[in-house]
């Protein structure tokens, strides 16, 4: 893997570093390059990972919907690292990877239900600046989701925006996690029309 980041990689050291390496190897089979970039500020790394783990444990929203929303957000923002990582996680969690791989081109794909499409539309609308979420879209989502699930969806999209935008700004790109487990390549995004 070549260093594409805008900051140099730091050596991962110490007791916490050994834990990070062990956890990374269990989860990914190796220590991702991104850990070295983030190691410059271990407080930011620790807090980001801790919050990410908490987000991952939320369970009011259907796991497939959560996965599609996260990947749609990452694809919209342009974070190849986040798209790849979340596709890999969908596989590891036994989610529908045939659909997950289609998320970047969800508008053209015929595999998604109307609810799944609304969830991805919401993720993209929320990711725009300014937000393009409409009352009509929220009302349509509330026909299928309860308020707690909608709140979780909103918070997941917000967290992914923060993560994805940070990675893009730092030049952190895909580390090909999905390739390592033999997943079909993620679909290329289609044209975005307003």
- As given in the structure block, the two tokens for residue 51 are 């919050």
What pTM does this model have?
Answer: 0.90
pLDDT of 142 reads 98
pLDDT of 135 reads 98
Average pLDDT over residues 150-178: 95
Average pLDDT over residues 37-47: 96
pLDDT digits (tens, 9 = 90+) for 46-82: 999 999 999 999 999 999 999 999 999 999 999 999 9
Average pLDDT over residues 11-16: 96
Better-scored residue on pLDDT, 38 or 3: 38
- Where would I find the H helices in 29-146? 33-38, 42-57, 63-77, 80-92, 97-100, 114-127, 135-142
Task: Tell how far CA 185 is from the center of its chain.
Answer: 16
Res. 132: pLDDT tops 90: yes
**Local confidence band at 177 (pLDDT 50, 70, 90 cut-offs):** confident
pLDDT of 190 reads 64
pLDDT of 20 reads 93
pLDDT of 105 reads 94
Percentage of the chain beyond pLDDT 70 is 93
pLDDT of 194 reads 46
CB 4 within 8 A of CB 13: no
Average pLDDT over residues 123-145: 98
Non-local (6+) Cβ contacts of 27 within 8 A are none
Average pLDDT over residues 21-38: 92
pLDDT of 134 reads 98
**Local confidence band at 192 (pLDDT 50, 70, 90 cut-offs):** low
pLDDT of 27 reads 86
CB 33 within 8 A of CB 5: yes
| 50-80: burial string, b at 16+ Cβ within 10 Å, e else | eeeeebeebeebbebbbbbbbbbbbbbbebb
pLDDT digits (tens, 9 = 90+) for 103-112: 999 999 999 9
């Amino acid at each position: 893997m070549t260093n594409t980041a805008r900051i140099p990689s730091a050596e991962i050291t110490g007791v916490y570093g050994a834990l990070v390496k062990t956890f990374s190897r269990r989860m990914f089979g190796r220590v991702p390059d991104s850990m070295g970039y983030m190691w410059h500020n271990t407080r930011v790394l620790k807090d980001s990972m801790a919050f990410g783990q908490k987000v991952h444990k939320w369970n009011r929203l259907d796991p497939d919907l959560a996965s599609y929303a996260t990947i749609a957000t990452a694809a919209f923002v342009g974070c190849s690292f986040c798209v790849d990582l979340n596709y890999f996680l969908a596989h590891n969690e036994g989610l529908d990877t045939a659909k997950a791989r289609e998320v970047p081109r969800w508008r053209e794909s015929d595999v998604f239900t109307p609810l799944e499409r609304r969830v991805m539309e919401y993720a993209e609308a929320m990711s725009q600046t300014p937000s393009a979420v409409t009352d009509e879209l929220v009302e349509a989502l509330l026909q299928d989701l309860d308020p707690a699930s909608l709140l979780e969806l909103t918070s997941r999209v917000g967290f992914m925006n923060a993560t994805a935008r940070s990675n893009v700004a730092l030049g952190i790109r895909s580390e090909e996690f999905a390739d390592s487990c033999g997943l079909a390549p993620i679909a290329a995004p289609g044209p975005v029309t307003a």
